[in-house]
Amino acid sequence: MKNGLEDVIAAETQLSDVDGEAGRLVIRGVSLEHLVDDASYEDVVILLLGGLIEGNLQKEELRRRLGHMRTEVFADIRTIDDHILELPPVDIMRALIARLPDGDDLEAALRLLAAPAVFLPAILRLKNGDKPIAPSSSLSQSADILAMLGGGLPSAEKVKALDAYLVTISDHGLNASTFASRVIASTGAGLTSSVLGAIGALKGPLHGGAPGPVLDMLDAIGTQENAKAWLNQALDRGERLMGFGHRVYRVRDPRADALKLALKPLIEAGQVDRERTELASAVEQAALAILKERKPDRPLDVNVEFYTALLLDALGFPRDAFTGVFAIGRTIGWIAHAREQALKGRLIRPRSVYVGPLPRAA
């Protein structure tokens, strides 16, 4: 057994394939670079859930039902009190999702897809002392998230960029949160329990909690000239550079490039702080050179979180909300894996090796 279960195969899946040597991600037979080009969030929901859940998964019908579900779950934000509002956004989302009924059908799945998309913008507005904005059932999920966040109709570039983000991170093999979702599904607990467990796994800094710290790092570095010295000092202190390294990828994470590309139209439309993107580019180059020099035995490259930070910042999400946006996008992957596990798998129950003291002889 390897610590961290590296290289252990723990499930068969038709949902996604992560090729860490080639730097390739395939989601249900479609390469990420093709998928991200023209798929919306709703398209990827249909792609991932197809054959795993009963019900009508036609695009217009799905969009209508998802919109209706957003309106329904909006009522739940009444339960956010001052006490819970003190928690980080992702913890508030977790608490609100815990109130939803468990279930295994399309209705339960759609409720779980709608809930985080509605809860996060409302939480952020309440934290700012603003009134939450009600969802619009006629909008797409991405357009509605941005509308609930800032009020008014978002630009087409922003909607496309958020769609690209949600599609890019929709599923990614047996990552820690997806594994958690499958373990819970294997007990027959239901989709809400799977999603809750997965959110708990996602929020750690080694998984979905990294993009906020990426921006902190860029702020701390401040100028392009300071990048090399700052990064070396961080490594001297034994710290890890956020947004770099991955358990599976030994080359560049293809999601980083998909998000870098998604940022381009926003940059061209003048909707991104150009200075920040130039600094990020310089930090990326400096970090790659330093990691190569200091960790010659471990190929370390950019991961998805580096460009996530820049993209979500450009879309107006505060950095403490980035993990919550990740949860909005990954919920479809968690649900699809939970359904696949429930339909085709058995109870997941590995064994451990006991290394504790032996009982004393009588």
Of 246, 284, 337, 340, the catalytic one is 246
Rounded to a whole number of angstroms, the CA Rg of the chain reads: 21
Least gap, CB of 327 to ligand ACO (angstroms): 12
Nearer to ligand ACO, 164 or 300 (CB): 300
Least gap, CB of 350 to ligand ACO (angstroms): 19
Binding site for ligand ACO (CB under 6 A): 4, 206-208, 210, 240-247, 295, 298, 300, 303-305
What is the C-alpha separation between 358 and 229, in angstroms, rounded? 51
Q: How distant is the alpha carbon of residue 62 from its chain centre?
A: 21
Going from the C-alpha of 128 to that of each of 74, 121, 317, the distances in angstroms are: 18, 11, 12
Going from the C-alpha of 58 to that of each of 9, 47, 74, the distances in angstroms are: 34, 11, 24
Question: Is 246 one of the catalytic residues?
Answer: yes
Nearer to ligand ACO, 296 or 350 (CB): 296
Q: Kindly write down the DSSP assignment for every residue of 243-274, as one continuous string.
A: TB--SS-SS--HHHHHHHHHHHHHHHTT-S-H
Q: Return the H-helix or E-strand segment holding 18.
A: strand 16-19
Nearer to ligand ACO, 117 or 201 (CB): 201
Least gap, CB of 346 to ligand ACO (angstroms): 27
Question: Is 157 one of the catalytic residues?
Answer: no
Q: Kindly write down the DSSP assignment for every residue of 50-114, as one continuous string.
A: TTTS-S---HHHHHHHHHHHHHHHHGGGGG--HHHHTS-HHHHHHHHHTTSPP--SHHHHHHHHH
Q: Is 103 exposed, middle or buried (0-12, 13-18, 19+ CB in 10 A)?
A: middle
Classified as helix, coil or strand, 136 is: coil
Least gap, CB of 69 to ligand ACO (angstroms): 26
Residue nearest to ligand ACO (CB): 245
Nearer to ligand ACO, 134 or 176 (CB): 176
Of 42, 157, 305, 340, the catalytic one is 305
8 A C-beta contact, residue 145 and residue 328: yes
Nearer to ligand ACO, 140 or 331 (CB): 331
Tokens encoding 182? 């499958």
Least gap, CB of 252 to ligand ACO (angstroms): 12
Tokens encoding 273? 């702080």
Nearest to 257 by CA among 6, 81, 23: 23
Least gap, CB of 330 to ligand ACO (angstroms): 9
* CA-based torsion, 94, 100, 101, 102: positive or negative: negative
Nearer to ligand ACO, 189 or 247 (CB): 247
Q: Which residues are catalytic?
A: 246, 305
